[in-house]
Amino acid sequence: MSATDSFGGHEHVFLGASHDRNQRRTMIVVGITALTMVAEIAAGYAYGSMALLADGFHMSTHAGALLVAALAYRYARRHARDPAFTFGTGKIGDLAAFASAVILGIIAVLIAVDAAWRLASPVEIDFDPAIAVAVIGLAVNLVSALLLHEGTPGHAHDHPHDHAHDHPHHHDHGHARDHNLRAAYLHVLADAVTSILAIGALLAGRFLDWVWLDPAIGILGAVMIASWSIRLLRESGRILVDAVPDKSLQDAMRARIEATGARITDLHLWRVGPGHNAAVISLSSADPRTPDQYRSALAGLAGLSHVTVEVRQAPGR
């Protein structure tokens, strides 16, 4: 005898708690970045400044990556109730984050190659306009970073969840991280850090004649950006291939089910969106209960939004 049941009659909308807020903020940052990019390119052509042109075209890569993040939010919301997505669109943001991490890695490589070439073959730098451009870029990126910052763990939610289920739960913010927002944040943070490093290097070159410091700092910045890219690739990639998102949650589920006297024969746990995990549990028991009763034993576990339980009669009875 076996019985299988899952939460029924509810929509599989597993978007993050702050999805709409994050979408709005990302769109604002896209607008700020695009306007700055256009202004720098226009001014570069008008005044013949290669520094402005270079920074403007460099900013276009970040604007493109930020636009990917914004469109991912929009797509996930628009198709959130589309039955074609079996477990909703909560992982669209992780896919966008993975793509952004790849772009960030490419940017790091390009910066490193250009810096190494300049270190081997120094070029003349027009320090004053270059410093001005770096300051403008830093100001824009600091404003953007403030808009995209997720805040500290424990920040309040903007609105209730879009999904319905029949057990209460609370959120573990570490595992509820919005990787799409984090990817956008890392893009502006990377630009801000490179601007800070560039300002320091340019000032040293301007007043101390340390021309070599500018490309050397460029290589350092590239290494930092590459490390952020690799970490984001690893984190978002694990979610995309359905790696276990939280070993402690898996252990807690196993302990609670086995406390009822049942034996778990199969357990799968994966993330379906920021702050939302799904699970499929197969178990056997000499004195089996209903699937609803076993699910009730899991009530209150953080971020457990969708559970399917298969119950089998243990052999020998």
SS (H, E, C) the chain: CEEEEECCCCCCCCCCCCHHHHHHHHHHHHHHHHHHHHHHHHHHHHHCCHHHHHHHHHHHHHHHHHHHHHHHHHHHHHCCCCCCCCCCCCCHHHHHHHHHHHHHHHHHHHHHHHHHHHHHCCCCCCHHHHHHHHHHHHHHHHHHHHHHCCCCCCCCCCCCCCCCCCCCCCCCCCCCCCHHHHHHHHHHHHHHHHHHHHHHHHHHHHHHCCCCHHHHHHHHHHHHHHHHHHHHHHHHHHHHCCCCCCHHHHHHHHHHHHCCCCEEEEEEEEEEECCEEEEEEEEEECCCCCHHHHHHCCCCCCCEEEEEEEEEECCCC
What is the model's pLDDT at position 50?
62
Q: Tokens 């289920």 belong to which residue?
A: 165
In 3D space, the residue among 175, 187, 179, 311 whose CA is nearest the CA of residue 244 turns out to be 175
Which CATH number is 247-313 given? 3.30.70.1350
**Token representation of residue 270:** 């994966």
What is the model's pLDDT at position 198?
86
Q: Do domains 19-155+179-241 and 247-313 have the same CATH topology?
A: no
- List, for residues 277-301, the tens digit of each pLDDT value: 999 999 999 999 999 999 999 998 9
What is the model's pLDDT at position 150?
59
What is the model's pLDDT at position 235?
94
What is the model's pLDDT at position 162?
36
What is the model's pLDDT at position 57?
79
What is the model's pLDDT at position 10?
58
- List, for residues 188-221, the tens digit of each pLDDT value: 998 888 888 888 988 998 899 888 888 888 888 8
What is the model's pLDDT at position 11?
64
Q: Do the Cβ atoms of 77 and 15 come closer than 8 Å?
A: yes
Domain boundary assignment for the chain = 19-155+179-241, 247-313
**Options 1.20.120, 1.20.1510, 1.10.150, 2.60.120; CATH of 19-155+179-241:** 1.20.1510
Positions in the chain whose pLDDT score sits under 70: 1-11, 47-52, 150-175, 316-317
Q: Do the Cβ atoms of 226 and 105 come closer than 8 Å?
A: yes
